[in-house]
């Protein structure tokens, strides 16, 4: 359906040549815009119906007081199924600290939350297939768990800004949610509105980059410079390229789709996706509000090394 819509608009309405670079780029753009935004609305609405009772405060309460291994696992899973992104990092960080949750567990949540979510997983499955979606989610969970453990070894408590320790948010009273069918519907519609408004620009930007890559970057150039799994420098390069970009896991999917279509190795593509979603410069600047530069440097280094190792591993395994 979406392919036919792209063909109709690009080649029928606009009259572009299907063999031209411009025609292929426009067809890709129309196809992915319609497909991804349709999936965004449907998946966010359905998950909103199920998530009507989950809030940042409830996430904190689920994790509080559990054994460290269980708290870390819960934090990662909650980060993967809740809609919090980098803009929520500061209040969530403060809330976790106030609740006495170990910082290593908090960092595991902060890694998982922007990098993995059910919306991105469903769109990944629809656009790239369940195999790559499973690889991405599995890698993200692993990076979040190991990254939090490594952060603990550096005792990051010493680098937390003083004002964070002084804040006492108290036991905030839960706002009673309307759990009726109508209440869940209104909550889900609100989720669609808020999340789509928050990410639509990054999704459009990702689709635009993917369309340009799809139409204008020659396949032979890609294979020679990035495509082969034997190119050890491609993965670190992908991680570095992702740092100045700002998007989320959903917004970077179209670019990944175009890269894989041109022959870029799976590991290189995964490394770029993870870097854009969790290691971007805006994400680091937001976290700087609650942790000092040494901790931020350690955090960024742990993520960068993890993403490079994941990329290399999958380039070696997936041929």
φ, ψ dihedrals at 216, nearest 5°: -115, -15
Rounded to the nearest integer, the mean pLDDT of the chain is 80
pLDDT (0 to 100) of residue 122: 81
Own/partner long-range contacts of 296-305 (Cβ < 8 Å, ≥24 apart): 298/151, 298/154, 298/156, 299/107, 299/151, 299/156, 302/147, 302/150, 302/151, 303/111, 303/143, 303/147, 303/274, 303/275, 303/278, 303/279, 304/239, 304/275, 304/279
d(CA 84, CA 258): 27
What pLDDT does residue 56 have? 57
In this prediction, residue 280 carries a pLDDT of 77
User: CA-CA distance, 46 to 187, in Å (whole number)?
Assistant: 11
Structural domain includes residue 69: yes
Tokens of 317: 């395994």
Task: Identify which has the larger pLDDT, 124 or 94.
Answer: 124
**In which domain, by residue range, is 44 found?**
2-167+183-317
Q: How many CB atoms lie within 10 A of CB 30?
A: 22
- Burial degree of 219 (CB within 10 A; 0-12, 13-18, 19+): exposed
Q: So what's the pLDDT on residue 169?
A: 47
Count of domains in the chain?
A: 1
Q: Is residue 21 part of a domain?
A: yes
In a domain, 187, yes or no: yes
What are the tens digits of pLDDT across the range 105-118? 889 988 888 788 77
Residue 172 belongs to a domain: no
Where is pLDDT greater, at 200 or 62? 200
Coarse DSSP helix, strand, coil percentages of the chain, rounded to the nearest 5 percent:
75, 0, 25
pLDDT band at 220 (very low <50, low <70, confident <90, very high): low
The residues facing 160 across adjacent strands are: 291
Average pLDDT in the 264-291 region? 84
In a domain, residue 174? The reply is no
pLDDT band at 171 (very low <50, low <70, confident <90, very high): very low
The residue count of the chain comes to 319
What is the structure's pLDDT at 173?
45
Q: Is the entire prediction scored with pTM above 0.85? A: no
The answer to whether position 193 is within a domain reads yes
Residue 34 falls within a domain, yes or no?
Answer: yes
- pLDDT confidence of residue 96: 78
Question: Can you tell me the distance from the alpha carbon of 167 to that of 97, in angstroms, rounded to the nearest whole number?
Answer: 9
**36 domain-assigned:** yes
Quick check: 199 pLDDT over 80?
A: no
Check pLDDT > 80 for residue 291. Answer: yes
């Amino acid at each position: 359906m979406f392919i036919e819509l792209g063909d109709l608009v690009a080649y029928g309405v606009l009259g572009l040549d299907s063999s031209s670079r411009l025609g292929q780029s426009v067809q890709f753009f129309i196809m992915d815009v319609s497909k991804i935004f349709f999936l965004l609305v449907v998946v966010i609405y359905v998950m909103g119906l199920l998530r009507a009772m989950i809030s940042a405060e409830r996430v904190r309460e689920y994790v509080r007081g559990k054994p460290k291994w269980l708290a870390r696992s819960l934090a990662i899973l909650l980060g993967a199924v809740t809609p919090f992104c980098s803009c929520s990092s500061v209040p969530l960080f403060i809330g976790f600290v106030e609740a006495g949750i170990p910082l290593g567990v908090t960092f595991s949540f902060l890694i998982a939350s922007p990098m993995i979510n059910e919306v991105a997983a469903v769109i990944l499955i629809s656009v790239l297939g369940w195999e790559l979606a499973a690889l991405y989610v599995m890698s993200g969970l692993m990076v979040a768990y190991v990254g939090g453990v490594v952060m603990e070894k550096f005792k990051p408590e010493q680098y937390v800004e003083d004002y964070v320790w002084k804040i006492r948010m108290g036991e905030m009273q839960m706002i009673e949610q309307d759990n009726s069918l109508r209440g869940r519907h209104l909550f889900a519609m609100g989720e669609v509105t808020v999340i789509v408004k928050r990410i639509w620009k990054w999704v459009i930007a990702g689709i635009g980059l993917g369309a340009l890559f799809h139409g204008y970057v020659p396949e032979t150039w890609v294979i020679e410079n990035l495509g082969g799994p034997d190119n050890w420098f491609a993965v670190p390069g992908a991680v570095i390229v992702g740092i100045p970009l700002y998007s989320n896991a959903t917004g970077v999917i179209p670019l990944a789709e175009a890269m894989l279509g041109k022959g870029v190795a799976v590991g290189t593509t995964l490394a770029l996706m993870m870097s854009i979603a969790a290691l971007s410069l805006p994400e680091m600047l937001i976290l700087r509000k609650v942790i000092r530069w040494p901790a931020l440097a350690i955090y960024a280094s742990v993520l960068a090394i993890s993403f490079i190792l994941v990329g290399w591993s999958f380039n070696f395994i997936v041929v």
